[in-house]
Amino acid sequence: MTSRYSKGKEGERVAAEYLSTCGLKIVEKNFRCPLGEIDLVARDGKTIVFVEVRSRQEGESCRPEESITLYKFRRLTRTALWYMKQKGQTRFPMRFDVVAVRWGGEKPDINWIVNAFEPR
């Protein structure tokens, strides 16, 4: 049986691959700072995209994208602002996407939600 941690890491790998095939350039994976972590940081043209990846097994009580709390949104926002300042990227627009990965059959079902939430 696969651990929840390894399934989450596999979800992040699948999400990065999916976003790359959709034209985004992945610039960071698992970015960490004192304020938190961001699963993926990507570029979509001039826009910096902060991506939260959520993975769930099929049959779990809620869809992956429903598991993100208001607390998580706020933490992502603070971490993203820290990233932008530290990397000297404050002149670029930013957005927050969610990639939900649901494991069931041979291939995962992927739901990419562009501009999933506004900074809070």
Q: What is the pTM of this model?
A: 0.89
Q: Over the range 49-69, which residues count as b (16 or more CB within 10 Å of their CB) and which as e?
A: bbbbbbbbeeeeeeebbebbe
Question: First-to-last CA distance in the chain?
Answer: 38
Average pLDDT, the chain: 88
> Which residues constitute the domain of residue 84?
4-117
Domain count, the chain: 1
Side-chain-facing half-sphere of 19: CA atoms under 13 Å: 31
Per-residue pLDDT tens digits for 5-39? 777 788 899 999 999 999 999 999 999 999 999 99
List the Cα angle 5/9/11 in 5-degree steps: 115
CATH of the domain at 34: 3.40.1350.10
pLDDT in tens, the chain (120 residues): 467 677 778 889 999 999 999 999 999 999 999 999 999 999 999 999 999 998 876 666 667 666 677 888 899 999 999 999 999 999 999 999 999 998 887 888 899 999 998 876
